[in-house]
Amino acid sequence: MPESLDILSLVVFLPLFGVLVLGFINKDDHGTLKIVALVTSLITFFLSLLIYFGFDANAAGKLIPGYQFVNQSSWIPALNVRYVVGVDGISLYLLLMTTFLLPVCILGTWNHIKDKLKLYLQMLLLVTVGISGVFVALDMILFFFFWEVMLIPMYFLIGIWGSKNRIYATYKFVIYTMAGSALMLAAMIYLYLQSGHLGHYSNYTFVLPDLIDYFEQFPLSPEIQAILFWGFAIAFAIKVPLFPFHTWLPDAHTEAPTAGSIILAGVLLKMGTYGFIRFCLPLFPDASHQFAGVIAVLAVIGIIYGALVAAVQPDLKRLVAYSSVAHLGFVMLGLFAFNQQGVDGAVLQMVNHGLSTGALFLLVGILYDRRHTRMISDFGGLARTMPVYFVIFLIMMLSSIGLPGLNGFVGEFLILLGAFKVSPLMGGLATTGVILAAVYMLWMFRRVFYGEVDKPENKNVPDLRPVELCALVPIVLICFWIGLYATPFLNHIGSGTAPIIERLNSSAYSVKHAVIEGSANLEKDEHPLKTAKVILPEEDWNE
Residues 329 and 296: beta-carbon distance below 8 Å: no
Shortest distance (Å) from residue 194 CB to other proteins: 10
Nearer to other proteins, 181 or 506 (CB): 181
Q: At a CB cut-off of 8 Å and minimum separation 6, what does 532 contact?
A: 505, 510, 511, 513, 514, 517, 518
- Alpha helices by DSSP H, 24-110: 30-54, 89-108
Nearer to other proteins, 248 or 379 (CB): 248
**CB nearer other proteins, residue 126 or residue 376:** 126
Determine what percent of the chain falls in helix, strand and coil, rounding each to the nearest 5: 75, 5, 20
Query: Rounded to whole angstroms, what are the CA distances from 503 to 86, 89, 507, 527, 540?
Result: 20, 16, 6, 13, 17
Query: What is the contact mask toward other proteins in residues 221 to 260, using x (rule: CB under 8 A)?
Result: ----------------------------------------
324 to each of 240, 303, 309, 480, 516, how far by Cα in Å?
9, 9, 11, 20, 40
CB of 183 to other proteins, least distance (A): 7
Least distance from C-beta 101 to other proteins, angstroms? Answer: 23
Out of 17, 171, 230, 368, the residue judged to bind other proteins by CB under 8 A: 171
277 phi, psi to nearest 5 deg? -75, -30
Site residues for other proteins, 467-486, by CB under 8 A, read: none
| C-alpha dihedral (221, 225, 227, 228), degrees to nearest 10 | 130
**Contact track, other proteins, 173-212, x by CB under 8 A:** -xx--xx--xx-xx--xx-xx-------------------
Over the window 60 to 99, marking each residue x when it contacts other proteins by CB under 8 A and - when it does not, the resulting string is --------------xxxxxx--------------------
CA atoms within 13 Å, Cβ hemisphere of 209: 20
Nearest approach, Cβ of 335 to other proteins (angstroms)?
26
In the chain, the N- to C-terminal Cα span, in Å, equals 47
3-state class (DSSP) for residue 315: strand
**284 near other proteins, judged by CB under 8 A:** no
**Interface mask (CB under 8 A) for other proteins, residues 127-166, using x and -?**
--------------x--xx--xx-xx--xx--xx-----x
Q: How far is the CB of 178 from other proteins (least distance, A)?
A: 4
In the complex with other proteins, the residue whose CB is nearer, 83 or 305, is 83
Which is closer to other proteins, CB of 55 or CB of 144?
A: 144
Task: Please select the residue that binds other proteins; options are 9, 72, 98, 170, rule is CB under 8 A.
Answer: 170
* CB of 138 vs other proteins, minimal distance in Å: 17
Is the Cβ of residue 159 or residue 329 nearer to other proteins in the bound state? 159
Minimal distance, residue 84 CB to other proteins, in Å: 16
DSSP β-bridge partners for residue 85: 71, 137
State the DSSP code for 221: P
Q: How many residues bind other proteins (CB under 8 A)?
A: 35
Q: Which one-letter amino acid corresponds to residue 459?
A: K
**CB within 8 Å of 89: residues ≥ 6 apart:** 55, 57, 347, 491, 492, 493, 494, 495, 496, 497
Cα distance between residue 140 and residue 145, in whole Å: 9
Nearer to other proteins, 49 or 189 (CB): 189
Least CB distance to other proteins at residue 10 (A): 18
Comparing CB distances to other proteins, the nearer of 73 and 491 is 73
381 φ, ψ (degrees, to nearest 5): 75, 20
- From the CB of 470, what's the least distance to other proteins, in Å? 31
User: In angstroms, what is the minimal distance from the CB of 169 to other proteins?
Assistant: 11
169 or 395, CB closer to other proteins?
A: 169
CB atoms within 10 A of CB 305: 20
- Smallest separation (angstroms) from other proteins to the CB of 167: 6
Distance CA 512, CA 517 (A): 9
Using CA atoms in the order 348, 349, 350, 353, what is the torsion angle rounded to 10 degrees? 130
Nearer to other proteins, 67 or 146 (CB): 146
Least distance in angstroms from the C-beta of 115 to other proteins: 10
Question: 76 vs 515, which CB is nearer to other proteins?
Answer: 76
Alpha helices in 406-450 (DSSP H): 407-422, 424-449
SS3 116: coil
Nearer to other proteins, 16 or 57 (CB): 16
Kindly list the residues in this chain that would bind other proteins in the complex (CB under 8 A).
Answer: 1, 74-79, 116, 141, 144-145, 148-149, 151-152, 155-156, 159-160, 166-167, 170-171, 174-175, 178-179, 182-183, 185-186, 189-190, 192-193
